[in-house]
Amino acid sequence: MTESRTAWLAGGTREQVAGTAYTLFLRQDGPEGGRPVTLLHGFPTSSHDWAPVLPFLVAAGLRVTSLDFLGFGESDKPRPHEYSLLEQTDLVEAVWKTLGIGRTALVAHDYGVSVAQELLARDSTRITSMSWLNGGLFPDLHRPTRGQRLLVGRLGPLVARVFNESRFDAAIEEILGRPVGEEQLHDMWLSLRARGGVRIAPALLRYMEERREHAERWAAAIAEYAGRQQLIWGPADPVSGAHVLPRIRQVAPRASVTVLDQAPAVGHYPQVEAPEIVGPLLAEFLVA
The pLDDT assigned to 146 comes to 83
Arch. (CATH architecture) of 5-287:
3-Layer(aba) Sandwich (3.40)
The pLDDT assigned to 64 comes to 99
The pLDDT assigned to 158 comes to 82
Report whether 32 contacts 5 (CB < 8 A). no
pLDDT in tens, the chain (288 residues): 789 999 999 999 999 998 999 999 999 999 999 999 999 999 999 999 999 999 999 999 999 999 999 999 999 999 999 999 999 999 999 999 999 999 999 999 999 999 999 999 999 999 999 999 999 999 999 998 888 888 888 777 887 888 999 999 999 999 999 999 999 999 999 999 999 999 999 999 999 999 999 999 999 999 999 999 999 999 999 999 999 999 999 999 999 999 999 999 999 999 999 999 999 999 999 999
Instruction: Name the pTM for this structure.
Output: 0.97
SS (H, E, C) the chain: CCCCHHHHHHCCEEEECCCCCCEEEEEEECCCCCCEEEEECCCCCCHHHHCCCHHHHHHCCCEEEEECCCCCCCCCCCCCCCCCHHHHHHHHHHHHHHHCCCCEEEEECCHHHHHHHHHHHHHHHHEEEEEEECCCCCHHHCCCCHHHHHHHCCCHHHHHHHCCHHHHHHHHHHHCCCCCCHHHHHHHHHHHHHHHHHHHHHHHCCHHHHHHHCHHHHHHHHHHCCCEEEEEECCCCCCCCHHHHHHHHHHCCCCEEEECCCCCCCCCCHHHHCHHHHHHHHHHHHHC
The pLDDT assigned to 159 comes to 79
The pLDDT assigned to 55 comes to 98
